[in-house]
């Protein structure tokens, strides 16, 4: 059969193992540095830089306000610049690889004279500047990377697999930071060299600067190298024409996006998913260090959370086709909510007796969350396809900037939850501080109840507001074939 006689979807698909692995490397590269922000940075700011939770919360929120300007600009740049011989999106991986590496390291560098105990204002300024610049650089990576899925393949089955591989890449990229978070501590000693004990009779441990900065440097360099490989191993099969610089085009594109129920619903679900993940990753560092006095649980809990992916990655594409993405993911996040609620009601059990049950319920919660983690990006692409077939408009860069901004709002939700919880339990962040027993009890309650609420909200959004059921996605594939044919004949796209 000749190329011209094939369907337009088949002519813009046909991924091999190299394509899936190359695409997964992009999120592995991003998560090698982004996981530092989602997990270890919060505790690093309070325990090493000695910054107050209130300042950290407002700094995170302020950075997201700037993203409301920064993200749409990057989205419109992606949609309007002329593609190079490397394509429209993958070229950005080369441009951003070195700056992202440098800024990730500088977020954790502690120059002489820095630290809340010696120069609080200067440390606040340094933390703010490096954090905001890192966020801007990460945007330059994430919006083109998210948009790439739409031009790598148009086949819904291959996009499901791409979403799975992306999730695997993200999980593998996140593993090093959990290892770092488990071993970057030392037992506290007093001036006489004796161990310092807390009110619960356990030896207090403190996060150490040297292992953190060494680990961060290694992860940042590896991230840069992986981005170069991502550039080399990916191919853009749909060559989109640049959007004309029309007055009001950006505003029109955003109005279309926010009027699409599917896109708004999956964006809200993505926001709450990241908020829940960031909350547990950040707040568990406090919980395991101060409440359980078992920092090894950082790695163990993440292994329990992400290990279900090893099994489900083989079944999710098939389940998505047979049962439906919406249907499977709704049930999954509801299960995660119930698991965390059970943990909350175990609040009266002594910490040393609760460790095994805590990890078991982390595993159950992870099984539920993995369903959405593996299919989130495929569902986002389905929503963008839905916009195209219902309105005739397609602005991938703008759409992913909107989607990415909602995920960054998830960081705001997480920042409010984490720092609000620290303030609510009266966390003592001053150098050499000791937490009270009452504080620690509140810490456990908040560590389990907040995720239960976030995941329950996700389940409601997917069940009630997300309209792309299994039947609707199947019909969408047929409508997309007609749209591709029309776009090709009108010369608004080329096929590589």
Distance CA 83, CA 89 (A): 8
CATH topology of domain 16-238+248-495: Growth Hormone; Chain: A; (1.20.1250)
Q: Residue ranges of the domains in the chain? A: 16-238+248-495
% the chain with pLDDT above 70 = 92
Share of the chain above pLDDT 90, in %: 40
Phi and psi angles of residue 119, each rounded to the nearest 5 degrees, phi first: -155, 80
What are the CA-CA distances from residue 63 to residues 55, 60, 105, 280 (Å)? 12, 5, 18, 21
Of residues 80 and 406, more confidence is placed in 406
92 neighbors 144 (Cβ within 8 angstroms): yes
Average pLDDT over the chain, rounded to an integer = 86
The 10 Å Cβ neighbour count of residue 102 is: 13
* Alpha carbon distance 256, 422 (integer Å): 39
Q: Is the pLDDT of residue 5 over 80?
A: no
Tell me whether residue 470 is exposed, middle or buried, using C-beta atoms within 10 angstroms of its C-beta: 0 to 12, 13 to 18, 19 or more: middle
More confident: 264 or 474: 264
Alpha helices for 187-324 (secondary structure H): 209-233, 249-258, 261-286, 297-306, 308-322
Q: What is the pTM of this model?
A: 0.78
Strand ranges inside 105-251, DSSP E? 185-187, 205-207, 238-240
What is the mean pLDDT of the segment spanning 269-297?
A: 92
């Amino acid at each position: 059969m000749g190329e011209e006689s094939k369907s337009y979807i088949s002519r813009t698909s046909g991924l091999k193992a190299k394509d899936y692995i190359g695409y997964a490397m992009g999120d592995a590269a991003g998560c090698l540095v982004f996981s530092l922000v989602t997990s270890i940075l919060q505790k690093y700011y309070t325990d090493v830089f000695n910054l107050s939770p209130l300042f950290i919360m407002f700094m995170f929120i302020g950075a997201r306000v700037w993203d409301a300007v920064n993200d749409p600009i990057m989205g419109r740049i992606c949609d309007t610049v002329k593609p190079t011989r490397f394509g429209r999106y993958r070229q950005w991986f080369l441009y951003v690889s070195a700056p992202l590496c440098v800024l990730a390291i500088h977020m954790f560098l502690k120059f002489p004279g820095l630290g809340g105990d010696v120069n609080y204002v200067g440390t606040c300024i340094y933390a703010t500047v490096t954090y905001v610049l890192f966020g801007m650089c990460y945007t330059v990576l994430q919006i083109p990377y998210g948009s790439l899925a739409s031009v790598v393949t148009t086949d819904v089955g291959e996009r499901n697999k791409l979403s799975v591989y992306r999730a695997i890449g993200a999980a593998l990229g996140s593993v090093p930071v959990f290892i770092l978070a488990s071993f970057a501590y030392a037992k506290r000693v007093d001036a006489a060299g004796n161990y310092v004990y807390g009110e619960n009779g356990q030896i207090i441990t403190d996060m150490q600067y040297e292992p953190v900065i060494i680990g961060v440097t290694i992860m940042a360099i590896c991230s840069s190298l992986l981005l170069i490989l991502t550039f080399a191993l990916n191919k853009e099969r749909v060559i989109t024409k640049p959007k004309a610089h029309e007055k009001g085009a950006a505003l029109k594109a955003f109005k279309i996006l926010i009027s699409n129920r599917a896109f708004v619903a999956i964006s809200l679900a993505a926001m709450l998913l990241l908020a829940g993940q960031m909350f547990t990753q950040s707040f568990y560092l406090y919980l395991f260090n101060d409440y359980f006095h078992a920092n090894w649980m950082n790695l163990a809990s993440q292994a329990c959370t992400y290990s279900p992916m090893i099994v489900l990655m083989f079944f999710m594409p098939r389940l998505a086709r047979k049962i439906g993405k919406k249907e499977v993911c709704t049930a999954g996040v509801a299960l995660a909510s119930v698991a965390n609620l059970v943990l909350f009601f175990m609040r009266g059990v002594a910490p040393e007796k609760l460790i095994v049950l805590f990890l078991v319920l982390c595993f159950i919660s992870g099984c539920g969350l993995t369903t959405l983690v593996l299919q989130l990006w495929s569902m986002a692409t389905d929503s963008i396809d839905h916009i195209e077939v219902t309105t005739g408009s397609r602005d991938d860069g703008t759409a992913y900037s909107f989607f990415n901004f909602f995920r960054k709002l998830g960081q705001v939700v997480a920042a409010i939850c984490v720092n609000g919880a620290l303030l609510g339990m009266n966390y003592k962040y001053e150098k050499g501080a000791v937490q009270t027993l009452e504080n620690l009890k509140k810490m456990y309650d908040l560590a389990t109840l907040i995720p239960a609420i976030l995941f329950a909200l996700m389940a409601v959004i997917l069940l009630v507001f997300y309209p792309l059921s299994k039947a609707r996605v199947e019909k969408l594939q047929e409508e997309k074939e007609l749209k591709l044919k029309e776009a090709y004949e009108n010369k608004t796209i080329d096929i590589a």
